[in-house]
Amino acid sequence: MRITMLRELRIKNLAIIDDAIAHFEKGLNVLTGETGAGKSIIIDALCLAFGKRASSELIRSGEKEAVVEAFFDIPPELCNPSSLKLLQDIGIDIDDGIILKRIISAHGKSRAYINDSMVNIQTLSEISTHIIDVHGQYEHQSLLLSDNQLDLLDAYGGLFSEREEVTTLYEKQTALKQHIAELIEREKERIQRIDFLGFGVNEIETAQLKAGEEEELLEEAKILSSASRLAELSNQAYDALYLSETSCITTLSNILADLKKISHIDARASDALKSVEEALPHLEETSYFLRDYKEGLDFNPARLEEIQERLELIKGFKKKYGNSIQDILDYKENAVKEHDELQHSEERLTALKAELEKLKEVLAEKAQLLSKKRKAVSKKIEQQVISELAELSMPGTKFSIQIMQETGDDTSDNLKLNSRGIDIVEYLISPNIGEELKPLSKVASGGELSRVMLALKSILAKGDKIPVLIFDEIDAGIGGRAAETVGQKLRSLSSLHQILCITHLPQIASYADTHLKIEKKAKGTRTTVEIKKMEKEERTTEIARMLSGDSTVISLKHAREILKKI
């Protein structure tokens, strides 16, 4: 089964690194190496791929640009929904994973790419925020954000069903408030609008317009305005067809008589005779039509004027209400509905305000109940974090989850509300006895912050949706049993997340599923950095070096014992 993880990191021309590739696996990935070997450059490179501010000073001496590429294997179904939508909106397909790429130019500018599509730094940062957390002296820690702290608290306490109920009510309240605001705004011009709509409806109804009427009137007006010409043409046609001595019908009758005589003698004329016999009745019908048509023509100036006035009326209505009579009739229908709504809007507004007040009472009850449960859950988390930190060589550390509310008009008890409830959550810590509690984001020591994050992640792991975690300086100021505990906790946490950890302690490194060594080497006249995966005896040798500074018989024996124990 595919899981989300960082598969590969490629670094080119960054600091003292020429061209290096690191391959990572699931579980606990440990990076070790002597002080100054370049381990911090690996973290710097990752942070650049995640959107951290870049500087041309990072480029390897003599090169034009530095390139960092981080490949993540991310099944689309496991991708954060907001990240997936953002990627889809900009046309990026992640079926085969995501490559975050950053190019830093010697001119001081940088370019960012996701799967070879150029993006801005903000997009790079937004996408990576939901994929990876870097813990140490860096800015990429999701747990420092208040919203994420609240999400983890709710996940740990199993409170999402209660929160979803509050969210549904909040969205209903938001829609209700918007509707009320619209009615209040419309109330300011309600009377004018009622009069305006009433006038329009009355005007259209009085006109008694009918669909298709305009076309009929135009046709009639065309006939009336051409009556004299039509009479002249129809009279000429009637004379030529029927009345004159040389009319068409008279001539055709003579032709018919001749064809009859011919056909009595020669049967070949029978078809021609038949054609004339058939044509003659049609011509007679036409003559009757022309006679009646010319007699029926009546040039009526009064009717023509009436039609023209009606057409002008329709033209005026079209300017005011629509492009056609059907549009005008549709306008009237909609105006009648709006007029009716406005007539009863005051009653509706009163009813909606009463509904809103009831909803505020329900929200106050539900949000307060959720807040009460959060406070109970926070106490459990506080105790566990303090206990975890004591095991991580931070005895006497105070940890508190502060839950606050702001005043507002969203609930009947005058509190501000959002889709997550009434609570604002802040994780506070005091790592040194006698110091006051401060937000996690104010903790200065990278090592302390890493251990706090490890403690929190260990406790809240199931609710934490960030798949890849990086810990740097987590071993600062600890050793012995505490180091062993850190290693155990990292190993345990790696069953739910992919972990990358930079460490100087063999106790921690020994728990690795994948062990990478960072080594600085001379290459010609230049210094560069190599990243190598430690296998079997190589790993034993590296653990031995970490134990004593060199690979001695005693340190190798100790290293084998440590690895065997794991």
What's the rounded mean pLDDT across residues 130-138? 65
Mean pLDDT for the chain? Answer: 87
Same domain? 230 vs 338 = yes
- Give the integer Cα–Cα distance in Å for 94 and 74: 7
pLDDT of residue 496: 87
What's the pLDDT at 65?
Answer: 94
> 136: pLDDT confidence band, cut at 50, 70 and 90?
low
What pLDDT sits at residue 290?
Answer: 84
pLDDT at 407: 94
234: its two tokens: 């129809």
Reduced to 3 states (helix: H, G, I; strand: E, B; else coil), residue 355 is helix
Burial classification of residue 225, based on how many CB atoms lie within 10 Å of its CB (0-12 exposed, 13-18 middle, 19 or more buried): middle
Residue 76 clears pLDDT 70, i.e. is over it: yes
Smallest CA-to-CA distance from 113 within 144, 67, 153 is with 67
Q: Is 451 part of any domain?
A: no
How far is residue 251's CA from residue 106's CA, in Å, rounded to a whole number? Answer: 105
The answer to whether residues 126 and 227 belong to one domain is: no
My answer on whether 225 and 299 are in the same domain is yes
Predicted local distance difference test score (pLDDT) of residue 104: 93
Residue 469 has pLDDT above 90, yes or no: no
Greatest mean pLDDT range, 165-179, 196-210, 226-240, 294-308: 165-179
Q: Note whether 336 and 197 are same-domain residues.
A: yes
The per-residue DSSP string of 286-332 comes to HHHHHHHHHHH----HHHHHHHHHHHHHHHHHHHHH-SSHHHHHHHH
245 and 205 fall within a common domain: yes
CA distances from 232 to 208, 284, 290, 319, 370 (A): 36, 20, 11, 39, 93
Instruction: Answer yes or no: is pLDDT of 333 > 80.
Output: yes
Which range of residues forms the domain containing residue 24? 1-131+497-531
Give the residue from 317, 343, 369 where a domain finishes: 343
pLDDT in tens, 152-174: 899 889 999 999 999 999 999 99
491 in a structural domain:
no
Compute φ and ψ for 470, nearest 5 degrees.
-120, 130
For tokens 């490179």, the residue is: 45
> Per-residue confidence at 141, pLDDT binned at 50, 70, 90?
low
Single out the residue in 297, 324, 343 at which a domain terminates. Answer: 343
Domain boundary among 343, 368, 401: 343
Task: Please report which residue ranges of 344-411 form alpha helices under DSSP H.
Answer: 345-391
Are 555 and 525 part of one and the same domain? no
**Based on the domain organization, do 76 and 212 belong to the same domain?**
no
Q: Is residue 489 part of a domain?
A: no
- Judged against a pLDDT cut of 70, whether residue 137 lies above it is answered with no
Q: Is the pLDDT of residue 191 over 80?
A: no
CA separation for the pair 127, 148 (Å, rounded):
15
What pLDDT shows up at residue 446?
67
Strand ranges across the sheet with 398-404:
398-404, 424-430, 438-439
Rg (C-alpha) for the chain, rounded Å, is 44
- Residue 215, pLDDT > 90, answer no
Residue of 376, 358, 365 lying closest to 422 (CA atoms):
365
Q: Is residue 477 part of a domain?
A: no
The whole-number pLDDT of residue 463 equals: 67
Do 196 and 336 sit in the same domain of this protein?
yes
- Taking CA 338 as the corner, what is the angle to CA 335 and CA 339, rounded to the nearest 5 degrees? 80
Predicted confidence band of residue 176 (pLDDT cuts 50, 70, 90): very high
* pLDDT tens profile 429-454: 998 888 899 888 777 566 777 788 78
Nearest one of 178, 286, 189, 303 to 237, comparing CA atoms: 286
- pLDDT score for 135: 54
Beginning with the edge strand found earlier in the chain, give each strand of the sheet holding 468-471 in spatial order.
Answer: 132-135, 468-471, 498-502, 28-32, 514-523, 526-533
User: Is it the case that residue 367 has pLDDT exceeding 70?
Assistant: yes
Alpha-carbon distance 166 to 371, whole Å? 11
Mean pLDDT for 100-115 is: 90
Predicted pLDDT of residue 253 = 87
Over residues 7-59, the pLDDT tens digits come to 999 999 999 899 999 999 999 999 999 888 888 889 889 989 988 888 888 89
pLDDT at 138: 47
Averaging pLDDT over each range in 85-89, 108-112, 263-267, 417-421, which range is the top one?
Answer: 417-421
Percent over 70 (pLDDT), the chain? 97
Q: Do residues 310 and 282 both lie within one domain? A: yes
Q: Are residues 199 and 126 located together in one domain of the fold? A: no
Q: Is the model's pLDDT at 461 over the cut of 80?
A: no
In a domain, 180, yes or no: no
Structural domain contains residue 77? yes
User: How large a percentage of the chain has pLDDT more than 90?
Assistant: 35
| pLDDT for residue 445 | 64
> What is the secondary structure of 108-163 as a DSSP string?
S-EEEEETTEEE-HHHHHHHHHTTEEEESSSS--GGGSHHHHHHHHHHHHT-HHHH
- The total number of structural domains that make up the chain: 3
- The answer to whether position 471 is within a domain reads no
Q: Quick one: 501 and 565 in the same domain?
A: no
Q: Are residues 93 and 232 in the same domain?
A: no
pLDDT tens profile 264-291 = 888 888 898 898 888 888 988 888 888 8
CATH number at residue 81: 3.40.50.300
Mean pLDDT of 99-123: 91
Question: How far is the C-alpha of 111 from the C-alpha of 67, rounded, in Å?
Answer: 10
Evaluate if residue 337 carries a pLDDT over 50.
yes
pLDDT at position 178, please?
Answer: 93
Condensed to tens digits (0 to 9), the pLDDT of residues 486-497 reads 899 999 989 989
Taking 60 as the threshold, does the pLDDT of residue 222 lie above it?
A: yes
**pTM of this structure:** 0.63
User: Higher model confidence: residue 538 or residue 148?
Assistant: 538
Cα dihedral 309, 313, 316, 318, rounded to 10, equals -120
In a domain, 367, yes or no: no
